[in-house]
A and B are shown apart, each in its own frame.
Chain A
Amino acid sequence: MPIGDWFKKEQKDDAQSAEKRAVPDGVWEKCPGCNEALFIKELERNHMVCSKCDYHFPISAQQRIDNLTDHGSFEELWAEMHSEDPLHFIGVKAYTMSLDKAKKTTGLQDAAVCGRALIDGRRVVLGVIDFKFIGGSMGAVVGEKITRTIELATAEEIPVITVSSSGGARMQEGMISLMQMAKTSAAVARHSAAGLPYISVMANPTTGGVTASFATLADIIIAEPRALIGFAGPRVIEQTIKQKLPKDFQTAEFNLQHGQIDMIVDRANMKRTISRIIDYMGS
């Protein structure tokens, strides 16, 4: 989902939330991929992936961490860092209101959750972006935390892993957000120059300033099935070229076919795959 759609959805969610609360906690969840009603317990056991059609439900940063790291090994860093609203930005609503709402819904201070972890007993530093926090957009906090994540891995000479789902740079922090692309990319350059591994996982969706910086600068790029990955949003492209886009345009499969990523890996196999790759990369 490009960031524009995220904003639309958020507004719709506001309207629908009252209605939603009236329905008791569901046992079933309808799959957006195949419309099948799925038993939630089973869906959770299956890493939030539809067993019928392989649709990957969006998951939180915490769920991703649980999915990728050894049980109980994650030690979060810089959790209290938060935005200062440097531009005093007011859109349809004040940026501070969007921040407050995102903090409430996610329990996070900003979109990135970073820290040390073990993967099959191997030490790594992990940075995960949660799409639920203002479309996973990168402002000063996400940029700083991802940079520190990379720097820590460089200093400790261990692999760094990022998991992205982001609409790109955060508009509400203007040029400060754009400059985070340069900051994170420069940190990747230093990590790489030190001969250390970097693996980037891209989930649905990863676009804009995040694909045009650290997320595509990894040694190995892995995508989740069907994830939307690209630079420009599909609607912007459609409006510019004034023609229909190919059916699978900007999907993970499209990106694999065009040589933009190394592989597409199911959520269930993600940890094992990363572990096997790191094993080839020394230390």
Chain B
Amino acid sequence: MKRFAYDFERPLVQLETKLDEMKRLESAEKEDIAADICYLEEQIQKLRMRTYSKLTTWQKVQLARHPDRPKMVDYIEAIFTDFIELHGDRAFKDDSSITGGFARLDDEKVMILGHQKGRNTKENIAWNFGMPNPEGYRKAIRIMRLADKFGLPLITFVDTPGAHPGIGAEERGQAVAIAESIMELSQLKVPVIVSVIGEGGSGGALAIGFGDRIIMLENSYYSVITPEGCASILWDGEVSAERAAEVLGLTADKLLELGLVDTIVKEPLGGAHHAPALVARNLKKEIVSALDELKAVGKESLADKRYEKLRSIGHYAEPIKTLTK
């Protein structure tokens, strides 16, 4: 089977393919090549370190978009049990680029909500590549309100290139749907835990993308605009998205440094798809520990604490004289 690989991964994949061939030969007992295999495995290990241990920002963006990267559906299966999916915005349609519903996190009853990217072309077409229309955000608002009403902590998963840009989306109020979803999140009286698992594309991500705790997978990104969009606006398309990604400060470590996210979950060399079960286990650990902390906060002060957290996102300068007003 031919594996998907970005340019920077290709030399490694070539070696790995070669190793597979040699192993097939050996198992057919055609040749005694155990020593060669051993040598090749060592080389592969070295190359893997070289390829993945110092990823550029752009390479991280690529890994965040990797087709084999675990998706919302994978995390639902790996982290939760007894998922009951809910559908529809009660106004226009069911937008499957956002999914959510009741689930159990160990013994804890919770509500989950997330962008749905597909694991293959068929799913991606059905789920619009995780790019919601207004009805997706209105479904999200319904799910948030249910969580609030029944006292269920809200666990969200962010993975979208952005909200869908289209004629119908504008006609049905893409802007206000996102705005209302953001406003709803700010008011919830239940704990809100966000996990950025792949792409955090702009307002379409933010609509379900802030809360009491924001966890990011190491190779996910969260950005005010896609690197492609930034490149075309700020440089008039004259530089690559690669360069734009560098200046946008969109990686997990940079956002942690800026105090905009709370925790980073490490990924294996090469990205989450190289050990999905391990990543899901570590992500679950962070979600559970965040939830334990937040349950200790009184129900009445959760929204206030969330507001204070938002209020502290500043990074501006102000001369003293205006402060005294």
Inter-subunit contact B179/A217 (CB<8 Å): yes
Q: How far is the CA of A246 from the CA of B168 in the complex (A)?
A: 11
Cβ–Cβ contact B178 & A186, under 8 A: no
Chain A residue nearest in CB terms to B187: A189
Select which of A86, A185, A214, A246 is within 8 A of B315 by beta carbon: A86
Given contacts A144-B314, A237-B170, contact A213 B255 (CB under 8 A): no
Contact (Cβ within 8 A) B234 A92? yes
Interface string of A239-282 (1 = CB under 8 A from B): 01100011001100010001110000000000000000000000
The reply to whether A81 and B210 contact each other, CB–CB distance below 8 Å, is: no
> A140 an interface residue at 8 Å Cβ cutoff?
yes
Interface centre among A144, A178, A188 (most CB of B within 10 A): A178
| Count of chain B residues near A, Cβ 8 A | 57
Q: Which residues from 135 to 166 on chain A have a C-beta closer than 8 Å to any C-beta of chain B? A: 140-141, 144, 147
A-to-B contact residues, CB < 8 Å:
3-4, 7-8, 77-84, 86-87, 89-92, 140-141, 144, 147, 169-171, 173-183, 185-186, 188-190, 193, 207-209, 211-217, 230-232, 236-237, 240-241, 245-246, 249-250, 254, 258-260
Query: Is the pair B178, A179 in contact by a Cβ cutoff of 8 Å?
Result: no
Q: Is the CB of B169 within 8 A of A232?
A: yes
A175–B250 CB distance below 8 A: yes
| Chain A min CB distance to B118 (Å) | 18
Known: A140-B314, A254-B171. 19 other contacts (CB 8 A): A8-B236, A80-B319, A80-B322, A82-B316, A87-B248, A175-B223, A177-B224, A178-B206, A178-B222, A186-B307, A207-B175, A211-B179, A216-B175, A216-B176, A217-B180, A231-B203, A232-B169, A237-B167, A249-B167
| A83/B166 contact (C-beta < 8 A), A147-B311, A175-B258, A214-B179 known | no
Contact B316 A186 (CB under 8 A): no
Q: Given that A213-B182, A231-B169 are known contacts, is A83 also in contact with B260, CB under 8 Å in the complex? A: no
B186 partner, pick from A78, A182, A211, beta carbons under 8 A: A182
The contact string, 1 if C-beta is below 8 Å from chain A, for chain B 79-121, is 0000000000000000000000000000000000000000000
Residue in contact with A176 in the complex, picked from B171, B247, B315, B321, CB distance below 8 Å: B315
- A236–B187 touching, CB < 8 Å: no
Q: Say whether A84 contacts B187, CB under 8 Å.
A: no
- A83: chain B residues within 8 A (beta carbon): 316-317
Q: Choose among B172, B203, B223, B236 the residue that contacts A208 (Cβ–Cβ < 8 A).
A: B203
Cα distance A8–B235 when bound, in Å? 10
Contact at A174–B224, with CB atoms within 8 Å?
Answer: yes
Instruction: Give A177's nearest chain B residue, CB to CB.
Output: B224
Q: Which residues on A sit within 8 Å (CB–CB) of B229?
A: 236
* A173 surroundings in chain B (CB, below 8 A): 224, 315
B241 at the interface (CB under 8 A from A): no
- DSSP majority for the B interface? helix
Contacting residues, chain A, for B179 (C-beta < 8 A): 181, 185, 211-217
Q: Are B316 and A141 in contact (CB under 8 A)?
A: yes
In the complex, the answer to whether A174 meets B232 with C-beta atoms within 8 Å is no
Residue B296 lies at the interface, judged by CB distance under 8 Å to chain A = no
A173-B254 Cα distance, complex, nearest whole Å: 13
Using an 8 Å CB-CB cutoff, how does the interface string of B184-220 with A read, 1 for contact, 0 for none? Answer: 0111000000000000001100110010000000000
Sort A-B residue pairs by CB-CB distance and give the 5 closest, nearest first: A186-B186, A232-B165, A211-B175, A231-B175, A91-B234
B248 with A174: CB separation less than 8 A? yes
Contact call B317/A212, Cβ cutoff below 8 A: no
Contacts of A213 in B (CB 8 A): 178-179, 182, 203
A170 vs B233: C-alpha distance in the bound complex, in angstroms? 12
With A and B bound together, what is the CA distance between A77 and B173 in angstroms?
33
Can you name 5 A-B pairs with beta carbons within 8 Å? A140-B315, A179-B206, A231-B178, A232-B163, A232-B165
Closest to A178 in B: B224
Residues of B within 8 A of A147 (CB): 311
The residue of chain A having its C-beta at the shortest distance from the C-beta of B205 within the complex is: A178
B171, B314, B316: residue with the most chain A Cβ atoms closer than 10 Å: B316
CA A23 to CA B255, docked complex, whole Å: 49
Roughly how many angstroms separate A123 CA and B182 CA in the complex, as a whole number? 29
Given known A92-B235, A144-B314, contact A185–B182 (CB-CB < 8 A)? yes
* B183 close to A (CB within 8 Å): yes
Task: Check A7 against B234 for contact (C-beta < 8 Å).
Answer: yes
The smallest beta-carbon distance between A235 and chain B, in angstroms, is 9
Shortest B166–chain A CB gap in Å is 6
Residue of A nearest to B244 (CB): A91
Q: Are B318 and A78 in contact (CB under 8 A)?
A: yes
- Verify B318–A231 contact, CB threshold 8 A: no
What distance in Å separates the Cβ of A262 from its nearest Cβ neighbour in chain B?
A: 12
**Cβ contact within 8 Å between A212 and B316:** no
Interface presence of B122 (CB below 8 A) = no
How far apart sit A245 and B185, CA to CA, in the bound complex (Å)? 33
**Interface 1/0s, chain B 117-160, versus A by CB < 8 A?**
00000000000000000000000000000000000000000000
The CA of A80 and the CA of B319, in the complex, are separated in Å by 6
Residues B322 and A81 in contact, CB atoms below 8 Å apart: yes
A249 to B310, CA, bound (A): 34
